[in-house]
Amino acid sequence: MLPQLVGRDEEQAELRRLLDVTRGGVGQSVLLQGEAGIGKTALLEAFGAECRSTDVKVLHSAAHELEHRIPLQTLLSCLSSLAGDAGRDGIASLRATLRGDVGADPLHWEVTAAEHVLALLEGWCADGPAVLLLDDAQWADDFSLAVLGRLRLAFRKLPLLFALALSTGPHTERSKVLQAFEEGVQSLHLSPLGQEHVSRLAGELLKSRPGPALTARLSAAGGNPLFVAEMVRALITRREIRAMGDSAEVDTTAADSRNAPGIPEVVAEIVMRNLEALPPQTREALRTAAVLGPRVDLWELSLILDMPVTKVWGTLAKAVDSGVLENCGDNLSFRHGIVRQLLVSAVAPSARRALHQQAGLALAAAGAPPERAAEYLLRGGSLAPQSLSWLATVMEALGTRAPMMAAELLEHALESMGPDAPLASAFRAELAAVLLRLGEPERAMDLARKALGLDRLPAEEAALRWVLVQGAYQQHHYETAVEEARKALERDPDDARFEAVTAQSNLALRRFDEAESAARRTVTAGLRSDLYAAAHGVALQALNSLAAVRPREALDLADRAATMLGNQRIRQDLPMAPHFTRGLALVELDRVDEADQAFDRGLHHAGAGGSLLVCYHVGKARLGFLAGRWDDALAEISAGRETADPLGMRGALNSQAALIAVHRGNPGEYDELVEHHDDSVGGSYYEFLRRWARALTWEAQGRPERALDLLFETWQSGAGSARQPFLVRLCPDVLRLAAGLGETGRLRQITAALTAGTGASHSNARGTALLGNGLLRGEVGLLLDAGGCFRAIGQALEAAYAFECAALALGRRGEAGPARQALHEAMRLYGQLDARWDSARAEEALAALGVRARRHVDEQPRKGWPALTETERTIVRHVVDGRSNPDIGTRMYLSPRTVQFHLSSVFAKLGVASRVELAVQAHHQPADDVGKDSRVPA
């Protein structure tokens, strides 16, 4: 029985208040803090029961000290406490990810898990509020805390109350992740009970008022309700309580105490005397169980005690009857930590280590999950020979499922054996690989180099070389990666993996001919032994063709790579994104709708939290910008920033956001982010975006000459070698600036390059060539044709540029009426984009020529229902229908994270704080305001 909840009225009232806020759709987070036994568990239990009685969904679990090294174990336990049939599928998928069954990389577990967890919680919260209660958070694994920290802002958009209980005190250690998690969370500190509440608690347990002697005796508990309850229980069990009238009294007999840190001596003495009443065999089994952990797994205990499970149960039955243990699901657990703490303190440290080692060996021999046995072995001190043999058989599985634990155990094993021991070579190779997965490439490479200097098997040498290649590539040391790959290929010329990284590294170094040769060799070697690597080689050829501005060739190769890949999962050591390359090629070919579909398909193939998911966010953000759907682009940018980024694409997202910010009148908003060159793979290919944003920022700040110099230099650097895709997109701004500054030479040079080979159909290239020729010759007709061409392919910004330039040309010729008409069309297009800087620039330039718009052109509304984009209206309809973000994303080909950022924008525009408020407001809006589905459901 739990201690009675006495003296916690204020805390209960605050939790109820937070639940009321949560019912309104605005998620809340609260941290309960206090010393062990102060009542946090009882408060959570009582609150959980109260929530269940009002049909609020409750997820309730506690972290355990033996599981703090197992990634996401805490969170999985909590989610599993509520999971129905649908939830079980989601949790099974998450477990498969952590086991490595779906190619997950520990470097990206946090991101992947966050998407899975958010999807589960959104599903559970879709039809009502939920509370997530986590006890003993000081034992939670860092991955669980990191995921919860990452999702904390997302929780605010759900009817979810998250309460976390944390023990405090001089002996409580807090990880850095936990310390970071505490920042910004409301905290409730549970203080010791006063004498009145101590007497009331004792009275409820005794069914009688405590007398003066008993009250004085209970004062030793220091107001800790657990200690009070334990003292009363023990005194009742030993029959030391006697009735005296209408009160209960106790004899004051002093005795020696066997104390444990943080437990008052009198409490320890009473509890230990109560335990001594149990049979010797039961006490022995309890001591063993206490050393092993707070939960008593009967199967594990039977292995360690070498007796049948039924006999173990019979031995512990008296401990259950006496209240020392209690049933907890499929196992037993100590009713309170105080009892276990005192039992553990009675066992010598050397005996504890021996028990842990015995437990680890027994579980290893019985085929238990490797992380369970590993946890005991880590606590057991030196590793026995049979432990080392077991580790050799499970180290790869352990390195995938619990890499931090694997690294610690492998280091421990290497310390306990000589450098020439039979297993040392294999352990070093696996440790280097695990360190690489944990995001420690420098340590991994250092260990691999040392291991290569010692004796090793050929397979181990290949594994060590792979660590060196991957570690160098992760740190953007591409020359080193190429050199290490060459050494590996000298020993095994058919290992396609090393050719693939050679091609990737040469692409990053912009050595395109070498990249093409390596990609061809990858395909050749892969077709013999590794079909995935062969597909990867074709995907690299597609990228190389795209870099050479051969989009049709790139499209064909990307299609071939996607066909070869089929339904194979993306390998984390060789990730590829053929649908991304395909989408970019289609963008260059002005096949916008097909490009959108390619990015959608790649988004689906990458999966939630995939390591290359960021590529598709970049692609969709670029497409949104070019097509004039800037709010959609910003949602993709925001989602991409929250995604794993192994290729360094975040700089491209920031640069794209900076471009939109400048056009919308906020120059300099991203100054620090776009000021410095980024040498990552993504950074090198999207350097033009960074420079573009920098240049327009300078123009907006009154430095057009500097802006033109940077943009012209950027265009020229790629135009000469024909090795830079996307640079034609810079040209409208370069042409506009060159014409405005009278830079005829630069204007002529760019226009000549654009005109050569331009077809007659509507396209971006044709529109840009018309713009250049119109500015160069001063022909208004060409400028208007350019505007019409851009408008026909949906490029509103470039079309507005053309009409603005036409208005300027007409204004200089004194043709005020036509100039006003062209200006009006430019202002209309700028208004659609909410391009406030461009509108102001055009109005100011034309006003200087005496030309003003015929009437005021309304800007895009920024608040209320009219401000919602088509995408946002569609999402609102789905929210009103009760669909979760993952479901909406599936129907609209968006990631759940993108849906969330669209919803955040909707909330801001409508002034609502939750889905509930949104649904209520939408219910009172005309159907036309809410809108209809804009995409075909999947």
At 646 the pLDDT is: 79
Tens of pLDDT, residue by residue over 864-918, are: 888 888 899 999 998 888 887 878 888 888 877 788 788 888 888 888 877 778 8
At 257 the pLDDT is: 39
At 721 the pLDDT is: 40
Sign of CA dihedral 715, 717, 720, 723: negative
Predicted confidence band at 64 (pLDDT cuts at 50, 70, 90)? confident
At 933 the pLDDT is: 43
CA gap 93, 117 in Å, rounded: 11
Residue 648: count other Cβ atoms within 10 Å of its Cβ: 19
Looking at per-residue pLDDT, the higher value among 679 and 35 belongs to 35
CA gap 711, 696 in Å, rounded: 9
Looking at residue 567, the DSSP 8-state letter turns out to be T
Mean pLDDT of 76-81: 84
At 509 the pLDDT is: 87
At 650 the pLDDT is: 87
Residue 567: count other Cβ atoms within 10 Å of its Cβ: 5
Answer whether residue 657 shows pLDDT above 50. yes
Backbone angles phi, psi at 31, to 5 degrees: -115, 120
β-partners of residue 481 are none
Tens of pLDDT, residue by residue over 552-582, are: 999 999 999 999 998 888 888 888 899 999 9
For residue 516, give the nearest of 490, 548, 494 by alpha carbon. 548
Tens of pLDDT, residue by residue over 238-269, are: 778 887 777 888 865 434 334 455 566 767 77
At 175 the pLDDT is: 67
At 107 the pLDDT is: 63
For residue 476, give the nearest of 341, 668, 243, 645 by alpha carbon. 645
Residue 632: count other Cβ atoms within 10 Å of its Cβ: 23
Amino acid found at 303: L
| 247-250 and 209-210 beta bridge pairing | parallel
Answer whether residue 82 shows pLDDT above 80. no
Looking at residue 779, the DSSP 8-state letter turns out to be -
Mean pLDDT of 755-780: 83
Mean pLDDT of 71-93: 75
Angle value at C-alpha 540, between 538 and 545, nearest 5 degrees: 95
CA gap 35, 434 in Å, rounded: 37
Backbone angles phi, psi at 333, to 5 degrees: -150, 155
Three-state DSSP class for 64? Answer: coil
At 55 the pLDDT is: 86
CA gap 622, 584 in Å, rounded: 9
Tens of pLDDT, residue by residue over 502-545, are: 999 998 888 999 999 999 999 999 999 899 999 999 999 999 99
For residue 91, give the nearest of 104, 78, 108, 103 by alpha carbon. 78
At 2 the pLDDT is: 42
Highest mean pLDDT among 84-88, 124-128, 470-474 belongs to 470-474
Mean pLDDT of 822-836: 94
Provide the mean pLDDT of the chain.
85
Three-state DSSP class for 51? Answer: helix
Amino acid found at 215: T
Give pairs for 689-694: CB < 8 Å, separation 24+. 689/652, 689/655, 689/656, 689/659, 690/651, 690/655, 692/655, 692/659, 692/730, 692/733, 693/655, 693/656, 693/658, 693/659, 693/662
Tens of pLDDT, residue by residue over 307-360, are: 999 999 999 988 888 878 888 767 788 877 777 888 888 889 999 999 999 999
Contact 141, 68 (CB under 8 A): yes
* Residue-wise DSSP of 598-636: HHHHHHHHH-TT-TTHHHHHHHHHHHHHHTT-HHHHHHH
Tens of pLDDT, residue by residue over 399-453, are: 888 888 999 999 999 988 877 788 888 999 999 999 998 889 999 999 999 998 8
At 256 the pLDDT is: 37
Helix (H) or strand (E) holding 33: strand 28-34
At 937 the pLDDT is: 35
**HSE, side-chain direction, 13 A CA sphere, residue 383:** 26
**Residues in contact with 163: Cβ distance below 8 Å, sequence separation at least 6, in sequence order:** 15, 29, 30, 31, 32, 44, 47, 131, 132, 133, 134
Angle value at C-alpha 860, between 854 and 861, nearest 5 degrees: 120
Predicted confidence band at 35 (pLDDT cuts at 50, 70, 90)? confident
Answer whether residue 816 shows pLDDT above 70. yes
Answer whether residue 720 shows pLDDT above 50. no
- The whole-model pTM stands at 0.79
CA gap 223, 933 in Å, rounded: 60
Looking at residue 194, the DSSP 8-state letter turns out to be P
Answer whether residue 169 shows pLDDT above 80. no
Contact 118, 151 (CB under 8 A): yes
At 749 the pLDDT is: 92
